[in-house]
Amino acid sequence: MSTQTPQHSGDVTVVDEFAQAVASHADVTTDQAVLAERGRDYWGVGGVAGLLLRPHGRDDIAPIMRLAAQHHVEIVPRGGASNCSGGMMPTAGRVLLDLSGLDQILEIDTGNYCARVEPGVINSDLQAALEPHGLCFSPDPVSAHLATVGGNIIENAGGPHALKYGVTYNHVLSVVVVLPDGSTIRLSADDDGPDLLGVVIGSEGTLGIITEATVALRPIAAVTHSLMGAFATAREGADTIAAVIASGVVPAAVEWLDRSGIAGLQQFYDTGYPLDADSIVLIDVDGTAQEVAHDQKIVERVLRERATEVRIAEEDKARAALWYGRLNAPNSVVQSGKGFFIGDVTVPRDRIPEMQEAIQATAARHCDGLLFIAVCGHAGDGDLHPTTFYDKDNPLAPSALEAANNEIIEAALALGGTITGEHGVGTEKIQFMTRRFTPVEIAAQRSIKKAFDPAGLLNPGIMLPERSAAEPELDAFGAAVRGALTGGISPDPRAPLTAGENTDIAVNLGNLSLVVGADATLDQLNGYLDERGVTCAAVPTTGQERTIGELVATATGVERAAIRHVLLGADVTVVDGQLPARFGAETMKDVAGYDTKRLYIGAHGAFGALRTLIFKIAVKT
């Protein structure tokens, strides 16, 4: 992973004064060894803060943040420190706020399928507490034993089973957030109006501190079976994934390892994976015994069309053996002792074959500076982790790594993908933000940051690049964000809800996505979806004369809830000058920057108009 230098430091003397002021709210540490250890993430990236605070309780966060605002002290939040983005950059002039001690599960409500937790609860501890009730929290990052629920929310973490069950966003019912000025707000999934909760989820600790969360739970599936297909070429493996998705079966997980990934892992773990395969695909199907029997039959048939070998694991022990290698992939990266960089590109699922080819062509082009690029990932969501390895003492490595990263990012963007599907931008992918977003799109995101954190005190240096001269001032957009944050928007009743008069409709069956012009009516849309044998949960069967753009811009209640869960992206205008912008993409996962499209839901045009919308769809069963 590349070494990052924190961008700028606050004032060290002020930090000393602040230490005295907060002493009644937190354990205060200045021990250098502790500061160094707590300031690094799992990968060793980070820095040494001037001070470490361990709040006595979650009610102490608001006074701590108020005092930080008064002393103008920069705060770096910390959960389990497992982020993969260089997301914590403490310096001598900054204060590390360690939330990992706030680890109480406050309530498990089995009747209403929800749990209320403090932010520092480790994901796997929550799962262990839920298991006796036959329940689980769906987000299952491979780091579940390290990562906190607060960290999952603030990074919008995914995981192998996000394919069927969604990412963290889909499972957060409400959060209590302390803003950088010390005020406290509660954001709920069922608040009407712009989806501010959706903007805070995935905000990488830059907008507010999550001090409590209520998360949705689901019953643990009665039966889970795992299948593995091995392929002679990566192309056949990737084509198989697209074929599984298009079959209409929704597996619980579809994971991928390419030849370099299989060989790299085998150096440290006896995975049992076929070493002569060019790629393997791991698939979980879950549900009732009857559902699993049905899905397994279809998946097995699709695998056998191209695989050189198919394995099926129905017992827990055999399943664990099949997953053992994949789940240890991150550990083997660290154990390699090599320099590495973990990519996290997501492309529409039907573009995985081209993405995989582009990655391996990049590896071949830079073989003088790099060792190899191993690819694993949550392929069912189109999310690949190309992990580039290099010898630390190879003088050609730095330039080769930079060139390879650039090429991989360019390839993902050219395929309609994004620069990060689940790891976040942090400091490591900040350089790619201007490739992913236009100056208008970055300016809109900067307005969000400014509305939440006008003094720029929270998690400085993370996510947004330095301001460029090309970024326009977006006063009206910023005012609308502030309005939403302080009690409600007041859109101009004449504000257009849609723009561009676009009524085009297209579905991509290999990706299970729908791209629809905002001026298409629900009637037109339902007819089109029916003809193709697919459904979209956001499209109601009532109010057919409404346009889809009008629906999204004015949605409340159940219609708003349905839109939230399947909206992938939006082409919009930004209200200042109705400048065009796109937020989100035709990818199943996208955590690049603030999830700005969320603001347009139920906003009555306050942030601008809708031009095109992108949704997830499902095959009719």
Site residues (CB under 6 A) for ligand FAD? 41-42, 76-84, 87-88, 99, 119, 141-143, 146-148, 150-152, 154-155, 157-159, 204-205, 209-210, 330, 422-423, 459, 462
Distance CA 279, CA 300 (A): 17
Strands 345-346 and 372-378, sheet pairing? unpaired
Distance CA 390, CA 376 (A): 17
Q: Which is nearer to ligand FAD, 148 or 502 (CB)?
A: 148
CB 558 to ligand FAD: min, Å: 28
For residues 475, 481, 482, 488, the Cα torsion angle rounded to the nearest 10 degrees is 130
Q: Which is nearer to ligand FAD, 166 or 205 (CB)?
A: 205
Greatest CA separation found in the chain? 68
CB 152 to ligand FAD: min, Å: 4
* Spatial contact of 284 and 161, defined as CB atoms under 8 Å apart: yes
The angle, 0 to 180 degrees and rounded to 10, between the axes of the packed helices 259-266 and 316-327 is 100
Q: Which is nearer to ligand FAD, 200 or 262 (CB)?
A: 200
User: Any idea how long the chain is?
Assistant: 621
Q: Quick count: other Cβ atoms within 10 Å of Cβ 133?
A: 15
Please give, one letter per residue, the 3-state secondary structure of 390-406: ECCCCCCHHHHHHHHHH
Q: Which is nearer to ligand FAD, 284 or 519 (CB)?
A: 284
Q: Which is nearer to ligand FAD, 153 or 415 (CB)?
A: 153
Tokens of 97: 């706020």
For every residue of 169-206, DSSP letters joined together read: GGGEEEEEEE-TTS-EEEEETT-SSS-HHHHHTT-TTS
Q: Which is nearer to ligand FAD, 213 or 480 (CB)?
A: 213
CB 296 to ligand FAD: min, Å: 24
CB 434 to ligand FAD: min, Å: 20
CB 621 to ligand FAD: min, Å: 28
Closest residue to ligand FAD, Cβ-based? 151
Strands 505-508 and 513-517, sheet pairing? antiparallel
CB 115 to ligand FAD: min, Å: 16
Strands ordered across the beta sheet of 26-29 = 26-29, 51-55, 94-98, 74-78
Amino acid (one-letter) located at 221: A
The angle, 0 to 180 degrees and rounded to 10, between the axes of the packed helices 439-452 and 475-485 is 40
CB 593 to ligand FAD: min, Å: 14
CB 395 to ligand FAD: min, Å: 29
Q: Which is nearer to ligand FAD, 49 or 114 (CB)?
A: 49
Q: Which is nearer to ligand FAD, 99 or 228 (CB)?
A: 99
